[in-house]
Copies of this chain bind each other. A is one copy, B any other.
Amino acid sequence: MRVELTAEIKRVAREHLASDGAAALSLRAVARELDMASSAVYRYFSSRDELLTALIVDAYNSLGEAVEAAEASTRRKDMRKRWGSICHAIRDWARANPHEYALIYGSPVPGYAAPPDTIAAAIRVPLAMTTILGEIDAAETSPPARPVPSRLRADLDALIATLGSTISQDLMIRGLMAWTYVFGAISFELFGHRHNVVHDHETFFSVEIDRIATFVGVQ
């Protein structure tokens, strides 16, 4: 029942997140909604930051699961479809959970520092993307590599190793850029920078990720 109430607290906290944003998330409000004393919450989370961290880890995992599920249910051979399914899964999740998206990809919550526990959860999307890059690299369908500054080589090698991949440094750069692009586009849409500029966000997103797929070298 301890597990159950912990989940219940997180559920209500997520609701508050969704209506007021992370900065306004308050232990007292959550406790009030659960009809318990605010002090009782401290039996489950020793501080507001600990609750916030739990929500962040949950958000990364929820996004990661959505992406992995979408990618897994797409035909293996169709690289472009697999790439698209990942990108659309990210966007769909973000639109369904805008405040959780803002929590992990928006401006950092002031005074809050994410502990390293979040890394394993945060890496799931990049991992899914890298898997596809590995396959296109093996198929040697990539566009010609462009020079990589020597000052970046060590970081790129470390990153490739962390992701358990064997892709080239050049492709790793393109992968990082694709990752950057997808979240940049979703942030622009969700944070209002395309308001009154683009109306059919769905179609525009499809065009974007299609062009980025070509840019990366996904056939």
Contact = CB atoms under 8 A, between A and B. Distances in A.
A208 B111 CA distance: 30
Per assembly, the copies of the chain total 2
Contacts of A198: 152, 155, 176
B191 A108 contact: yes
Interface residues of A, number: 45
Contacts of A32: none
Interface in A49-78: none
B177 A180 contact: no
Interface string A180-209: 110111011001110001111001101110
8 contacts: A21-B23, A151-B200, A152-B198, A152-B200, A152-B204, A177-B211, A180-B188, A184-B184
Top 4 A-B pairs ranked by shortest CB distance? A184-B184, A106-B107, A21-B110, A23-B23
